[in-house]
Amino acid sequence: MIFARDKSQMCNNLLQFAHVYAYGREHGRHVLSMRFSYKYPYFHIRHTRHTSFILYILVKIAAALRLIPTAAYKPGCNREELDRFVEKHNNVVVAGWEVRHYELFLKYRSEICELFRIDEAYTLPVQAKMRILDEGKGVRLGLHVRRGDYALWADGNYFYDDATYASYIKGFLRMHPGEKVHVYISTNDAALTAERMELLVKSGTEESLVSVHLLGGSAPEDLFMLSECDAIIGPHSSFSLVAAMYRDIPFCRMDRAKAETLSENDFRKFDYWFRLLGQ
C-alpha cells in the first residue's frame, strides 16, 4: 500500500494526494491518505475503505521507526528515481509537494472528484442560499479574495486590495454586457463586506446589473459555492483551482494587479492552470 503524507493546507493536501492516488490507481496499488484520515471530515473520501484513523496512527509510528520507507518528493528531487523507489516497495510512505503525475491525474480525474465530493450537510444549505439570492437567473461569478497569509506568501505578490478585485469584476462585467451578474465572494478577510465590494464595482460606472454576495461560509461551503459558479476569478491559489476542478469551470488567475479589460483568453480550464500551479 502507498501512504500519502503531507502538511500544508486543505487543497494543497487534496492535490498532492490525488497525484499519488492516480499513480496507485494506474499501477494497481491501494493508496491511503494520512492527512484525510483525521482531518477535513467533509469529503466523501472519509467514508471510503482505505481511509482509517487507526491505520494512519500505525503507519505514522512505523514510518517514524523506519519500519516503512519514505519517498520524499522535495524541491530539486529526482522524481523518476523516487517513482522507481515507490514501485519496488510493497508498503511505502510518499511525502512532499513535488510528487507529480499530471497525465494520470487527468486520466482519473472523475474518480478524484468523486473522492472529494463534499458531503450534503455542507452543500445543500449553500445551494438553497444561492437559489434565493439569484433565483437561478443571470451569470454566477465566484470571486476568491485571499488575504491573511498572502501578505507574506510569495513576497506578497498576490495580496491584492479591494480595488484590484473590483477591477477584475468590472472586466468580467464588460464581457457580459446587459446580463445580470451575481458575484459570490469567498474570503478569509473578516473585514471585507459585500456592500463595500459592490460600491467599488459600481463606482464611476453604470453597472447596475451586478449584485455581490458574501455568504460567510466555512471552507467546504465556500469551496462548493465557488464550484457552483459559471466562472471563477482568484489569485494564485490551490483553493480556487480545486473549486474549478469539479465542473471544469473557466478560471481567471489574477497574475497581474489591474484587469478592467478581460477576455475569454483570460479564463482557462482546469488542466491548463493545473500544470502551472507551482509557477
Confidence of residue 6 (pLDDT cuts 50, 70, 90): confident
Q: How many Å apart are CA 201 and CA 164, to the nearest integer?
A: 10
DSSP 118: B
Distance CA 5, CA 33 (A): 7
pLDDT value at position 19?
96
Do the Cβ atoms of 238 and 11 come closer than 8 Å? yes
Burial of 157-175, coded b for 16+ CB within 10 Å and e otherwise, reads ebbbebebbbbbbbbbbeb
Stated pTM of the model: 0.93
Read off the pLDDT of residues 182-230 as tens digits, 9 standing for 90 and up. 999 999 999 999 999 999 998 866 667 899 999 999 999 999 999 999 9
Helix (H) or strand (E) holding 187: strand 181-187
